[in-house]
Amino acid sequence: EPEVTQTPSHQVTQMGQEVILRCVPISNHLYFYWYRQILGQKVEFLVSFYNNEISEKSEIFDDQFSVERPDGSNFTLKIRSTKLEDSAMYFCASSFTGTGMNTEAFFGQGTRLTVV
Amino acid sequence: GENVEQHPSTLSVQEGDSAVIKCTYSDSASNYFPWYKQELGKRPQLIIDIRSNVGEKKDQRIAVTLNKTAKHFSLHITETQPEDSAVYFCAASEDSWGKLQFGAGTQVVVTP
């Protein structure tokens, strides 16, 4: 069964450093997303990406964050100048169409980011 | 924007009993309501979903009901088993870009 894969599984970084979280969505999917989950809390939407551009972003997704699809398979989330409160599990997800058009979003296994 | 409320936050049930989790949403434009199961340290996995044009859907021991008028939807798990122990999240989607708004989650513990 195809799945979304994320690397690394765990990333420890010093406050103020930049991190890049990587995702390989399912190959025939067209919509890509990043969500985050602070420990013990709910999953929060960060950004959706379609046709090589951001389609929607939340208030969490400020200038510190950026996304990119550098090639035909990878989808990355860059966090500049990390803060302690950026520590969370970051999930990548993909779907064939936007879920408003009734298609399941598949989640990756997550990258646990720890900012020290 | 959409706001999803989920109750209860924790639910303990005896093996074999039923579990019910309830969610309400705020945006009447929401038209897709998935339920995800998340085991400790793992990814959320879709277990069932329902569209706004359907009132009820069942898949073996799991069922979901939707009341569009009242803007609430519920997950029902019958004949619970220890492997049903996990955190369950409801979600709602209101737009074509696929943004899911999640509830706060319900920790379900099934005791043998």
Say yes or no for a CB contact (<8 Å) between B89 and A109. no
Our CA-based measurement puts residue A82 at a distance from the nearest CA of chain B, in whole angstroms, of 23
What pLDDT score does A92 carry?
97
Nearest beta carbon to residue B100 from set A97, A99, A108: A99
Q: Distance between CA atoms of A41 and B15, rounded to whole angstroms?
A: 26
pLDDT digits (tens, 9 = 90+) for A13-44: 999 999 999 999 999 899 999 999 999 888 99
A110 contacts in chain B (CB < 8 Å): 43
B36 contacts in chain A (CB < 8 Å): 43, 107
Q: Which of A92, A106, A107, A110 is nearest to A47 (CA)?
A: A92
Average pLDDT, rounded, for chain A: 93
Which has more pLDDT, A113 or A96? A113
**DSSP state for residue A101 in the 8-state scheme:** G
pLDDT digits (tens, 9 = 90+) for B82-99: 999 999 999 998 766 678
